[in-house]
Amino acid sequence: MFCLLLSGSMIGVYAIVYHVSCKHFPSPALSDSYSLNEKLEFLRSAKKDAHVLAVGSSIALNNLHSETIAKRISGHFLNTSSWGMNMGDNYSLLKAICDVYHPDTLIIASSISEFEVPAKKADYDLVKKYLTAGDFTAGLYHIECFNLRYYMDNVKYKKLVTSVKNQYEYLVFDQYGGVNIDDTNFEIDQRRWKADFDKKRMNANNYDYVDSISSFCKSKNIKLLFFQSPFREGIYTKLNDEKANDLKTHVNRIGAILERDEHVLIDADKILWNDSLFIDGEHFSAKGAKAFTAYCFDELKSVKSKPVVTAGVTH
C-alpha cells in the first residue's frame, strides 16, 4: 500500500510537470508493447460482433483502409493489429481472440520486414480474460500488472502519439481499430524512407507460425486472406537481383502454405506503387492505404479457388 501511495504521488507530480491528465494514462501493461496494450484496451471496449478480423503489425494497422473494408464486406470488421507484431505474436493473439469474436474471415496484411521483428512478451491467457472483463475488473489489471517505469515512460508518450496526426507514431484508432496516417505536412524520416529488408535478420520461425496460423484457421473454418503489402516504387525497382529473388522466394513460400489450406494470397508487388502514396519504404499514407485495400479486394474477384471467402466478404 505504501508503494502504491508513493507511486501515485510520483505520477501526480509527473502529471503537473508535463501537463498531462487522466486521458493520457496508458492502458494496463499486459505486454511489453505500448501499442499492443492500447489496442487491447480498444478491443475490450469494442463490440464483440465483428466476424471479419485483421491481425498484424503496423503494416496491417496503417495500410488497411478501414472504411474501404467496411464497404466491401457484409457484417462487421475489426482491426486488431499493433506495432511490431511478428507472425508468432499474431498466432498467439489470434488464439486469444478467436473464442471472443468467432471470426469467419481473417485478414493479414504483411511485409517481409516483419520477419525480422523479435517477439513480444505477453501473457495471452491474461489477455483473453482482459478482453471480456467489465470496466471495474479491467481497472484492477492496472494493479495486477503494475509497473511504475511503464507509466512514467508512457504517460507523456501517450499525449504525443494521440495529439499529432501527421507523424509515424500517431495512435488514435478509428471506429474499426485502424490508423490511417494523414500525410499533410508530413516530415519524412530519410532512414525509414530508404529502408527495405535484411534477410540476415529474418527469423525462419515466422514461416512456421504462418503455417500454424493457416492450419488454425482451417481447423476453425476461418478463411484467411493474406495481403502481401508492397514496397514503394523507388525501392522495389532498385532491389538488386539477390534481394528481388529473396522477396519472390518469401512470397512463394507463404503462398504454398496458404494454397495447401485453401486460403488466399494477394501479392500487391505485382504492380508498382508510386512513391507519393507512402510515408516511408513500406507504410502507406491514408490515400495509399485506400488504394492498396481496394486493389486487394478487387484482386479477390479474380481468384479461382473455392470459395474465395466465406460469408464475411461480399463479391
Span 198-233, pLDDT tens digits: 999 999 999 999 999 999 999 999 999 999 999 999
- Mean pLDDT along residues 130-141: 93
With a cut of 60, say whether residue 308 has pLDDT above it.
no
- Mean pLDDT along residues 5-21: 61
With a cut of 50, say whether residue 315 has pLDDT above it.
no
- Mean pLDDT along residues 293-304: 90
With a cut of 90, say whether residue 238 has pLDDT above it.
yes
- Percent of the residues in the chain that have a pLDDT greater than 90, as a whole number: 83
pTM of the model: 0.89
34 pLDDT band (50/70/90 cuts)?
Answer: very high
265-274 pLDDT, tens digit per residue, is 999 999 999 9
Which of 3-17, 123-137, 245-259 is predicted least confidently? 3-17
Determine the pLDDT at residue 305.
Answer: 47
Query: Across all residues in the chain, what is the average pLDDT?
Result: 91
Determine the pLDDT at residue 313.
Answer: 53
Determine the pLDDT at residue 23.
Answer: 79
Which of 125-139, 220-234, 291-305 is predicted least confidently? 291-305
Determine the pLDDT at residue 314.
Answer: 47
How far is 31 from 41, CA to CA, in rounded Å?
A: 12
Task: Specify whether the CB–CB gap between 9 and 151 falls below 8 A.
Answer: no
